[in-house]
Structure 1
Amino acid sequence: MMNVTVWNENRHEQQNPVVREIYPKGIHGAIASFLEDAFNVRTATLDEPEHGLTQEVLDGTDVLIWWGHLAHGEVSDEVVERVKQRVLDGMGLIVLHSGHFSKIFKTLMGTSCDLKWREADEKERIWIVDPSHPIADGIGESIELEKEEMYGEHFDIPAPDQLVMVSWFEGGEIFRSGCTYQRGNGKIFYFRPGHETYPTYYHQDVQKVIANAVKWAAPVNRNRPVYGNAQPLETIKAKEEAK
């Protein structure tokens, strides 16, 4: 069974009673609860030693899910580099909502990852623009969320390898809300919804997308290439003639 680590900075839940009421076990606990029937799931939070992401934990993680907002700057550069190296080595990474501004996502994207935003209790409709993609498996033409925070273009990210979903908001904006990337041997999925003051992670289709993304981002078992100076596979004619 695949090993999944759900990471959450866990600050809103401590500071905001509204968030604590919606997610009494934390956002990480809510996400872990709907994944635990299909995967081996553990959680980690910012205030644990090494943010709960020791080398041992990461080496035992097939897919890492990341939620952060208030405390991006408190995540140590050492841990960010550790996560980056695991992604390059094949660990899957799913970045949720305000994790777009996390150190790890910005490092892997190489851009500012900035965007427009607004909190106005408005409807979000997430359109599935690549219905054949495994992450969209079992999802209809769109996902409708009654209330969400708006994220709007321009979203300063590299062009996605695959654009799976696009959001429309009641105020008129659109947003690339389901984006895949490959970095080294690892797969990355950015999924937009999940503002902390809305019960988004209890929505059945949102849960289905995250579970699908975990399966999609799983490491691939294969022989890794050997880098550096290489001996020829065939006889090089010019070298033979020079003898």
Structure 2
Amino acid sequence: MKILVTVKRVVDYNVKIRVKADGSGVELANVKMSMNPFDEISVEEALRLKEAGKADEVVVVSVGPAKAEETLRTALAMGADRAILVETDDQVEPLTVAKIVKGVAEAEQPGLIIVGKQAIDDDSNQTGQMLSALLGWAQGTFASKVEIGDGKATVTREVDGGLQTIDIKLPAVVTTDLRLNEPRYASLPNIMKAKKKPLDKKTPADFGVDTTARLKVLKTEEPEGRKAGIKVKSVAELVEKLKTEAGVL
């Protein structure tokens, strides 16, 4: 079985985000970029399934600018077999990404697609579900455990009430949650080898996908700073402040 994994290049999670002076978006110049943390978990899960003998090949795909090649090479250094870069400088939306990955899936014919449940830059949490609908495949979202066998996947999902375990037929789309695994670190020799591996480069046009944005960001603002808390001497005073000052009672 072949596993297809999507990865995205985002601002590193350790970086403090700054909004551009004109409010047109987030400042990306001279900012450290890295693989989306949920996608690291996806790559790790695919590699573990391969090591367990449940898959023969792990293919990673990214939709983005030429610099996304660095993110793909990180996945190759972790142990992925092949990488596909669908290059575009446009700000692609979740539906556009889902349409492109659908085209990649139709060409690659994987038995399983693993997608990070969301990217930490836009937090959309949409691509995996949209991809499942476009392909007509079963889906298991917010996975904290995945087991493969007998043409099906058993997925333990993190839901509001706790955990839910479902069986879905393969091929399927699974989106990963944080507690699924702990991603491995790529060794220096593997990083050096990954730099020499060829990438399969495509464009959205190869899959007949128009990347024109359907949504427009009007303005980006930083959130207001948190106000200092206060101490009260009694429950009665707390209730009074909640009524008169906070207006929540």
Normalised to the residue count of structure 1, the TM-score between the two structures is 0.34
Higher relative contact order, chain-length normalized (CA < 8 Å, sep 6+): 2
Higher-Rg structure is: 2
